[in-house]
Amino acid sequence: MSERRYALLLVAPAAVVLLGLVGWPVVRLLLDSLYTGSGLTGARRFVGLDNYVDALTDPAIRAAAGRTVVYTVTVVFAELVIGLGMALLFHALGPRSRMLQTLFLYPLMIAPVVAGLLWRFLMIDNFGILNELLYRVGLVDSPAAVSWLSDPDIVLFSVAIPDVWLTTSFMTLVLYAGLQSIAPDLYEAARLDGAGGLRMLRSITLPLLRPVIAVALVIRGVDAARAFDVILVQTDGGPQSASETLSLTVYKTMVTFNDPGTAAAVSTMFMAVMMAVALVAARTLWSDR
Amino acid sequence: MKRALLWTVAGLVVLVYAFPFVYLVLTSLKPPVDAIAVPPTVLPQRFSLDNYRTALAREGVADSFLNSVSTAAITTVLSLALAVPAAWGITRYRTRAGRVLLAGSLLVRMTPAVAIGVPLMGIMGGLRLSDTPTGLALAQTTIALPLAIWLLASFFESVPREIEEAALVDGCSRPAALWRVILPVTSGGLAVTGIFAFLASWNEFLFALLLTSLRAQTTPLAIANLQTQFGLDWGPMTALATLYSLPAVVLTLLLQRRIVAGLSLGAVKG
């Protein structure tokens, strides 16, 4: 058997499984998006692109798309700032900080459902420990000062907290690995030229870390945009849909309103936009320096 | 002086990140009434295992642990069995098919689970796999397999070509060289990949929600279902969440170095 044949044989089973379990569902999704009527009653009618028009003109779906962007940017920005800060700290402290690194890593292994419920418990009105602690430290003037999950103005940011808590350490890990691959002589040379810490961060660390930051941002951005369980168990998208992102909208359109056509159309556009944004982001962040 | 400040800042941030889980465990050891006392206290005033008793006595909860274990086991075995040859084919032979598969698995990662979850319901129904651990495991393989391919590809990348060539010269067939020579060399990477595949399934929620009802229900669903018409049953929730998270947290602490290697390798090289 030729080498090419053998190589093809090796990758074929995985390719077939992914085609069957992801490719085929995506095809069915595309087809579903062209029909109207509930899958349960069996009365389906071909409507062309009507579902897409409906979805694009529906203020509720447009609002959910906007919230998805805000949520994703919030999560990724917070993670980048804290994650980069911690990576720089661990790098400066050296191998002796390994114990701290291990402790910092653990949220990564916890189920998003558990994280969501846990934080809902911490932030809940009345007996939530978060407000109580903030009150004791003197940061707020009453234990009922912040209605984390019931105030529509802030809820979108509150539901992002567990997501940030879960995966900041992923950001730290990746950036820390990136930092370790930067040659120490560069800093040595800069120090001889009289550069200070901030200057070195701006002129050496950040530019060299750029490709690594790009990968981490794209991976986390894609994951944050798809967030579902974390939000579902905290607020179910409420109050007044103020924390409903697109994944929840699709789920509700499908399961609660039994409208598979619109749900499929929204999913399709969601998927297409996400791939496009990820590709463009990866390109720009990665290549030009 | 400056170093002491750095240590303090790092320690404080880690403390803030560690607190939620510590508080979860401490709360699970309080009597159920104290878990929702106003004002809340960090340390238990009284010690009790009632939350654990109540949670485990709930219908379906004990079974859900079995379901979680078997679903995650099937997902792990299936993902590794498919990813090992695929990743080796991709890194060793560098054909166009390999590159397509690698790019394809990245695209799969960007597909929102909610988008393919609904069509998968129909497909599993057609295969008569609705509400079974096997059906759920097949769906979760769409998450674990791309991850496993990327991780293993970066591990195989560090295997020198000469190792395989030497085995071939010694009369090994190509599959035997992979199985008997390459895999033992990369057993560490294989273990890390297995752990990630297992956790991807263990912690998964959306497919479990869509594809199972009572029979094959996994524990993340059971935890979310502690919701009653009067609100969530907080005490038992903390107990069940602690039990379910503990294996993963302990595993992290034990295998920290290897997991770090796997994660950063996958992301930095990828």
Confidence (pLDDT) at A185: 85
Dihedral Cα A222, A223, A224, A228, nearest 10 deg:
130
Distance CA B86, CA B80 (A): 10
Distance CA B41, CA B33 (A): 12
Verify that B144 and B205 share a domain, yes or no.
yes
Residue carrying the six token digits 């393919």 = B116
Per the DSSP assignment, residues forming a β-bridge with A35 are: A46
AA letter at B188? G
Q: pTM value? A: 0.91
In a domain, B177, yes or no: yes
A35 backbone dihedrals φ, ψ, rounded to 5°: -115, 160
Distance CA A99, CA A102 (A): 5
Interface of B with A in 9-28 (CB under 8 A): 9-11, 13-14, 17-18, 20-21, 23-24, 27
Verify that B228 and B95 share a domain, yes or no.
yes
Q: What crossing angle do the helices spanning B61-93 and A3-18 adopt, rounded to 10°?
A: 150
Residue carrying the six token digits 């238990």 = B44
Sign of the C-alpha dihedral computed for residues B210, B211, B217 and B220 taken in this order:
negative
Confidence (pLDDT) at B270: 39
Tens place of pLDDT per residue across chain B (270 aa): 788 999 999 999 999 999 999 999 999 999 988 888 888 888 888 899 999 998 898 888 999 999 999 999 999 999 999 999 999 999 988 888 888 898 888 888 888 888 898 889 989 999 999 999 999 999 999 999 999 998 898 888 888 888 888 888 888 888 888 888 888 888 888 988 998 899 999 999 999 999 998 899 999 999 988 876 567 789 999 999 999 998 888 877 777 777 776 666 555 443
Verify that B69 and B32 share a domain, yes or no.
no
Residues of B in contact with A178 (CB under 8 A): 268
Verify that B177 and B127 share a domain, yes or no.
yes
Per the DSSP assignment, residues forming a β-bridge with B228 are: B231
Considering CB atoms only, which of B14, B38, B123 is closest to A103? B14
Query: Is B80 within 8 Å of A11 (Cβ atoms)?
Result: no
Residue carrying the six token digits 């075995």 = B77
Per the DSSP assignment, residues forming a β-bridge with A45 are: A36
- Test A110 with B245 for CB contact under 8 angstroms: yes
Confidence (pLDDT) at B142: 95
What radius of gyration, in Å, describes the C-alpha atoms of chain B? Answer: 22
Distance CA B209, CA A234 (A): 16
Verify that B134 and B205 share a domain, yes or no.
yes
For chain B, say whether A221 makes contact (Cβ under 8 Å): no
In a domain, B55, yes or no: no
Confidence (pLDDT) at A47: 87
**Structural domains counted in chain B:** 2
Domain of B228 in residue numbering reads as 61-269
Tell me the DSSP string of B153-213: HHHHHTS-HHHHHHHHHTT--HHHHIIIIIHHHTHHHHHHHHHHHHHHHHT--HHHHHH--
Verify that B36 and B68 share a domain, yes or no.
no
In a domain, B54, yes or no: no
What burial letters (b/e) apply to B233-260, b meaning 16+ CB within 10 Å?
bbbbbbbbbbbbbeebbebbeebbeebb
The residue extents of the domains of chain A are: 59-286
Verify that B239 and B189 share a domain, yes or no.
yes
Per the DSSP assignment, residues forming a β-bridge with A36 are: A45
Verify that B6 and B119 share a domain, yes or no.
no
In a domain, B200, yes or no: yes
Angstrom CA distances, A163 to A71, A79, B205, stand at 10, 9, 15
Q: What crossing angle do the helices spanning B113-126 and A24-32 adopt, rounded to 10°?
A: 100
AA letter at B17? Y
In a domain, B195, yes or no: yes
Verify that B79 and B153 share a domain, yes or no.
yes
Distance CA A1, CA A4 (A): 8
Residue of A nearest to B255 (CA): A102
Confidence (pLDDT) at B94: 86
Tens place of pLDDT per residue across chain A (289 aa): 788 889 899 999 999 999 999 999 999 999 989 988 765 556 778 888 999 999 999 999 999 999 999 999 999 999 999 999 999 999 989 888 888 888 888 888 899 999 999 999 999 988 889 999 999 888 888 888 888 999 999 999 999 999 999 999 889 988 988 888 888 888 888 888 888 888 888 888 888 888 888 888 888 998 999 999 999 999 988 898 999 999 999 999 988 888 888 999 999 999 999 889 888 877 776 665 4
Confidence (pLDDT) at A287: 64
In a domain, B202, yes or no: yes
CATH of A59-286, one of 3.30.470.20, 1.10.10.10, 1.10.3720.10, 2.40.50.140: 1.10.3720.10
Q: Which CATH number characterizes residue B116's domain?
A: 1.10.3720.10
Largest CA distance in chain B: 74
Verify that B38 and B111 share a domain, yes or no.
no
For chain B, say whether A196 makes contact (Cβ under 8 Å): no
Confidence (pLDDT) at A289: 44
Verify that B110 and B174 share a domain, yes or no.
yes
Considering CB atoms only, which of B20, B83, B263 is closest to A170? B263
Verify that B41 and B67 share a domain, yes or no.
no
